[in-house]
Chains A and B, each alone.
Chain A
Amino acid sequence: MKVPLPRPNELWRSPLRGPWLTSVLGAVLLVGIPVLFVTGLLSYAAYNPNLSHVNDKTPGKGLLGFYLFSWPTHPYWLYRLNQGVHVTLGIVLVPVLLAKLWSVVPKLFALPPVRSVGHALERLSLLLLVGGGFFEFVTGILNVQLDYVFPGSFYPLHFYGAWVFVGAVLAHVALRLPTAVRALRSRDFRAELRTPTSRTRPEPPDSGGLVAARPADPTISRRGLLGMVGLGSLALAVVTAGQSIGGPLRGTALLAPHGRSPGTGPGGFPVNKTAAGAHIRPQDVGADWQLTVSGAGGSVRLGLAELQRMAQARAALPIACVEGWSTGDQHWEGVRLRDLAALVGHPDDPPGVFVESIQLTGSFRAVALSAGQVRDGRTLLALRVNGADLTPDHGYPARVIIPGAPGVMNTKWVGRLTFGATDFPERT
């Protein structure tokens, strides 16, 4: 006796699947993914990668760096906002992405697997779309939690992966947008939000194979499904956004890595690289510590007391990390970089500066700053924060603080400033 096996399109029985539902979820991603992409590109530009190889973790970018520009210092919260949006939105979109994939899963198993050459190429493109999308979301989510298990350095993986993903997204949108627009027009969104489970019916049979051939009775309405996905996104936003918004909301970021401050007092705000982690020994930053400042007019060496005798400037600036967390404005006090430039032969219009930490190894122990960053009066070699000396973990005896730049460029435990240079003096 022959038992008829269920045809693959009969395995998927949810009465909610259909072009309309897929298009609603797709429309959310169609807004969200471009925002993620643009904020991601801006974040790369914020490192001023064209200035120096030490700023650039993706030197092989070629044409993909076509858009780069000198990163501004106004408004000073630009990077904080950019990166808060990038990371928080990426996390918030996870339920939408998974729901979108759930809504189209029957197509993965559709038979025959390949109908034509064109269909085969489109499926290859979908592999880039889904594989690239997962790759971007997974590497980003792991990196913000400091879980460096992915195969390589985060910057190149996430940057080049983004271009692969976006290349596939562009094709997908170009090929599917007409269908999606038709599907969105096929049902009234607000009427759908008033339809309870008891009145939920499957969408009319479609040529794309999303609507179930043998739909089961509904157990949840489309409104219910969209609400559930939205609630997932809302919950993720609530436990995440506070690490970026800060203030009293920081405490609501229950699951985010920087939902707490490591201490209290003037230096109690979050850190991401400690003195011990950077192998800074107490004797390296003791009474013998000196800062070397070089420029076109020669070199000077300054101890902490000499720096303290120079004109002290103040700036209220946040630390904003590529990982999406940031501090509120901290009150920094120290010497303007442009005043230090004036000491070594750059009285007016100083050039950029190459900043080196006494940290001997590790990423971003040196950074090149643009002339624009040096000339901004709020760019300081900070000696104090919030009315007290810097703590060891915040870079005692001196650190750089720049308006609008990524957190990691605010070099701690500074040992040498070379005006007009973009590389280690030994190398040039």
Chain B
Amino acid sequence: MTSPDRKPVVRRLFHLLYGEPWWHLATLLASFALCGYAMAQLLAGDWRGVLEWAVGAAVVHDLVAVPLYGSADWLLHRAVRGSRPRSPRRIAVVNHIRVPAFVSLMLLLVYWPLISQDSGAQLRYATLLDAGVFRTRWMAVTGVLFGLSGLHLAFRLWRERRKAPV
């Protein structure tokens, strides 16, 4: 039987200095070797631009986007559930706003270049297609999503009321 204390001294010393087992370091070093090899080429051109984009995207997501959508969700809860925070009906209303808003924002996020017409001129030039349609289409899809969600909510509330004891 080998107890943890019977581990070779070298391994214990390594763990003390490094904080993780040896294969943790081996895995990371192998990964860094591959990443570094590719990164040498990735950064061969406009290295500053590439670093700004990669690190910038992570920072914008973690420090701007997450707090932003977190607070938006919190505000939605405050606005809808304010006086009766435990009411299941109010929570249902929140979710019937949350879900279509989430889906609509996903579409907006992915198709921002077309919806905002950021690449409109390039699109027209290369494909002969009108880039002006995307904003209207996104708004229409958003409207349909909220409409369906609203109908579903109305149906749920109606069914609940019918079931509720008089």
Interface residues of A (CB under 8 A from B): 58, 60-64, 91, 94-95, 98, 101-102, 105, 108, 115-119, 121-122, 125, 127-128, 130-132, 134-135, 138-139, 141-142, 145-153, 156-157, 160-164, 166-168, 170-171, 174-175, 197-198, 217, 219-220, 224, 228, 231-232, 235-236, 239, 254-255, 257-258, 260, 262-263, 270-274, 277, 393
Contact = CB atoms under 8 A, between A and B. Distances in A.
B106 A235 contact: yes
Contacts of A134: 54, 57-58, 61
Nearest to B42: A160
B57 A152 contact: no
Given A122-B28, A228-B98, A255-B111, A146 B123 contact: yes
Contacts of A232: 102-103, 106
Contacts of A257: 114, 123, 127, 129
B57 A138 contact: yes
Contacts of B114: 145, 255, 257
B39 interface: yes
Given A164-B35, A254-B137, A255-B115, A217 B86 contact: yes
B45 A64 contact: no
Contacts of B111: 145, 239, 255
Given A122-B20, A167-B33, 6 more contacts: A64-B37, A134-B54, A145-B113, A152-B50, A175-B27, A235-B145
A235 B107 contact: yes
B5 interface: no
A258 B127 CA distance: 8
Interface of B is mostly: helix
A146 B126 contact: yes
B15 to A, nearest CB: 9
Contact of A118 (B18, B54, B123, B137): B18
A273 B66 CA distance: 39
Contacts of A236: 106-107, 110
A220 B91 CA distance: 8
Given A262-B127, A274-B128, A151 B106 contact: no
* Residue with the highest number of chain B CB atoms closer than 10 Å, among A60, A156, A254, A260: A254
B57 to A, nearest CB: 4
B2 interface: no
Contacts of A156: 41-42, 44-45
Interface of A is mostly: helix
Contacts of B138: 255
Given A220-B95, A236-B106, A254-B137, A168 B45 contact: no
B127 A148 contact: no
A197 B91 contact: yes
A389 B3 CA distance: 82
A147 B113 contact: yes
Contact of A130 (B58, B88, B119): B58
B62 A239 contact: no
A62 B30 CA distance: 18
B50 A116 contact: no
A393 B24 CA distance: 56
Given A115-B19, A127-B55, A272 B127 contact: yes
B41 A160 contact: yes
A98 to B, nearest CB: 8
Given A130-B58, A224-B95, A117 B17 contact: yes
Contact of A151 (B30, B45, B58, B141): B45
11 contacts: A131-B54, A134-B57, A146-B123, A149-B118, A152-B45, A175-B27, A197-B91, A228-B103, A257-B114, A272-B127, A274-B126
Interface string B1-38: 00000000000000001111000110110111111011
* Residue with the highest number of chain B CB atoms closer than 10 Å, among A91, A108, A151, A273: A151
Contacts of A58: 41
Given A116-B18, A235-B106, A151 B52 contact: yes
A145 B119 contact: yes
A127 B126 contact: no
A180 B65 CA distance: 26
A91 B110 contact: yes
Nearest to A158: B42
